[in-house]
Amino acid sequence: MTNTVNKTPLFNEHVALNARMVEFAGWQMPIQYVGLKEEHKACREHIGLFDVSHMGEIRFKGPKAVESLQWLATNDVSKIESGQAQYSLLPNKQGGLVDDIFIYCLEKNADYLVCVNAANKDKDFAWMTANNKGADITDESNYWGQIAVQGPKALALCDALFSELKPSQWARNEIKKTTFQGFSALVATTGYTGESGCEIFIEAAGTTQLWQALMQHPLKPVPVGLGARDTLRTEMKYSLYGHEIDDTTNPYEAALGWAIKPQTKDFINKAQIVAVKDQGLKRKLIGFKMIDRGIPRQGYEIKNSAGSRIGITTSGTHSPTLDEPIGIAYVETAHSAEGSEIFVDIRGKLVKAVVVKTPFIQK
């Protein structure tokens, strides 16, 4: 680990676009280009382009790849075939999570690419290596650049650039190997916005060519910074490591039970994680909207009408799509049903809110 700030292969593109750059997870990243709301809207209504080259990529190869991933991750990786992808979780040994990940099956039983959060990449790699069951594990993060193309017209743009693949015809969570202008690439129908679209892994040296080809296409996609990436995922109530999940959170409380398969396989710390659920969840992750004025933010306490603490806000923002404040919080199970009235402690004031159905927007 060094203290230097990393630059993605697209750093010069962002500067040329006059993006506002910030340090995020050790990387210089664009927080916004023209404005968060416009970028958010472009992704919901047209096409957003995201530089996600900061994400980590860790490769699992060899005859023990599946056995190792089954032990490290909660979902059942034996269920995905070559060319399919799966969301999963890395449990730690204290009942919490090391990270949440996407596993891409490039060749069944032999070759898997694991996409991990940028901030956790070194921690994940060390954890995977320490708990390996014989896979050949390589950190390929420097090898890959990554661009997400998301929005209602995103697949049309991906079809235009990858006409031999036609990703618009695939199911969600599929992946195929290809090349782009001679560079190795992987095109996947995954994403973190709630829109259809692709995430494209490409050799770092080819990332700029791919970005420029996307930008110059007549469909005119709009570059989107980390600011709108966060509001887009919050509207979908997608978990973000460091907010909804961290090294202390139980994944059932985080409503991620669909990515945990204790009946079909063993994994690290399975007994403790499942016990929390079997004993009845004490708290749940819910979405809420404000009844009275105020914007919820991460860390704001949730209280009952008597002012007693019943939970904590994990994410909150003003939803650009709905033009109203939305929040995600852990609350005691008794207060977690839709329609429950809760109060958010905003700078010492109790502001009324209500538990609502999520995702906040219907896709």
Partner 1 sequence: MPFHIPEDLYYTKDHEWAQVDENIVTVGITEFAQDQLGEIVYVDLPEEGQKVTQNQSFGVVESVKAVSDLFAPVSGTVIEVNSALLEDPSSLNDDPNNDGWLVRIEMDSEKELANLMRSPEYKKLINDK
Residues that bind partner 1 (CB under 8 A): 31-32, 35-37, 227, 230-231, 293-295, 297, 317-318, 320, 325, 347
Shortest Å, Cβ 324 to partner 1:
9
Nearer CB in complex with partner 1: 170/300: 300
Beta strands in the chain (DSSP E): 6-7, 20-24, 27-32, 48-51, 56-61, 84-91, 97-107, 111-116, 136-139, 144-150, 175-180, 183-188, 197-203, 222-223, 283-290, 301-303, 309-319, 324-332, 341-346, 349-356
Nearest distance from residue 15's CB to partner 1, in Å? Answer: 16
Nearest to 313 by CA among 359, 281, 345: 345
Compare residues 37 and 265 and give the one whose CB is closer to partner 1.
37
CA pair distance 51, 150, nearest whole angstrom:
11
Q: Which is nearer to partner 1, 287 or 325 (CB)?
A: 325
Closest CB 31 distance from partner 1, rounded Å:
8
Nearest to 148 by CA among 236, 242, 54: 54
User: Nearer Cβ to partner 1, position 251 or 325?
Assistant: 325
- Shortest Cβ 40–partner 1 spacing (Å): 8
Classify the C-alpha dihedral 30-36-40-45 as positive or negative: negative
Asked whether 239 and 48 are in contact (CB, 8 A), the reply is no
DSSP bridge pairs for 331? 284, 311
Q: How far is the CB of 43 from partner 1 (least distance, A)?
A: 14
Tell me the Cα Rg of the chain.
20
Query: Shortest Cβ distance from residue 261 to partner 1 (Å)?
Result: 37
Residue closer to partner 1 (CB basis): 322 or 334: 322
Question: Between residues 292 and 338, which has the closer beta carbon with respect to partner 1?
Answer: 292
Residues in CB range of 325: below 8 A, 6 or more apart = 289, 290, 294, 295, 296, 316, 317, 318, 319
